[in-house]
Amino acid sequence: MNPFTNPTGQVQVPPPAGGIPGVPPQYTAKYKWSAFRFTGTVAPGDKKVFTNKQGDSNVQGFSGTLTERETCMAGTGGQVPNGVNWLVLDIGIYFDLNAIVATPAILLDAQVIMNSIVVVLDYNDQPYPLGPATMYPAGGGIAGTPDSASTGTGAAWTNGTPQMIGRRTQGDRPFILQGGTQFDVNLRCSNTSGAIRTVTTSAAVDVFVGLWVWEEKATQAGP
């Protein structure tokens, strides 16, 4: 089933605040997230999130165990939990610069990686390209410009995106992910000239994918 259409072929639209008239399930606004860590030499290819759950080790680019910081997926990874449906209204991509050493070079690392990413929704083994990562601002996190090439001292830093229009994508074409179905979000890196980027030593770029969803209790999980 195409997540962007309902069984009659009509584009999904958000239900009214009180739920769809005559339909028992009630919607709850929730936020879902999962991250991929970029370190070392970043090669072209698939970098998938939401594929693993909390407690899984050495996955999604991380060394060690995934915690609730890295993903919201608790019971199982790679699928919508049974018993609920997710109506996805918005997507946000957030770049977190994990630098043990203070260096502005990590800013360029993040920029190059971001410019290489195409966001792809994988749903029931079907890919749905959604567009470049640059088109999906998260509206959060620290951003700015360093004034020193040696220390990375911040000359102008802000927590989040000042413009309201940049807070997140506008959900004019929401899509539905049904309970029990397989899905992930692929941060697919593309480059025709070899490696994407070699991330600064002792640093990492954590890329978070956030989904703003309306969750409903499903009367029947699955497609």
In the chain, where are the structural domains located? 27-217
C-alpha to C-alpha distance for 205 and 199, rounded to whole angstroms: 8
pLDDT score, position 10: 47
Q: Which pair of structure tokens corresponds to residue 75?
A: 């019971």
Task: Write the pLDDT tens digit of every residue in 176-207.
Answer: 899 999 999 999 998 767 788 888 887 888 99
- Hey, which residues does 122 pair with through a beta bridge? 127, 184
CA dist 46 and 116 (Å) reads 12
* CB contact set of 165 (below 8 Å; sequence gap of 6+): none
DSSP 141: S
Specify whether the CB–CB gap between 60 and 66 falls below 8 A. Answer: yes
Q: What does the chain come to in residues?
A: 223
pLDDT tens-digit profile of 34-83?
999 999 999 999 999 999 999 999 999 999 999 999 999 998 899 999 98
Which residue's entry shows tokens 């630098």?
Answer: 99
Identify the pLDDT of residue 16: 46
Which of 64, 3, 67 shows the shortest CA–CA distance to 35?
A: 67
pTM of the complete model: 0.79
| pLDDT tens digits along 2-28 | 666 554 444 444 444 444 443 345 678
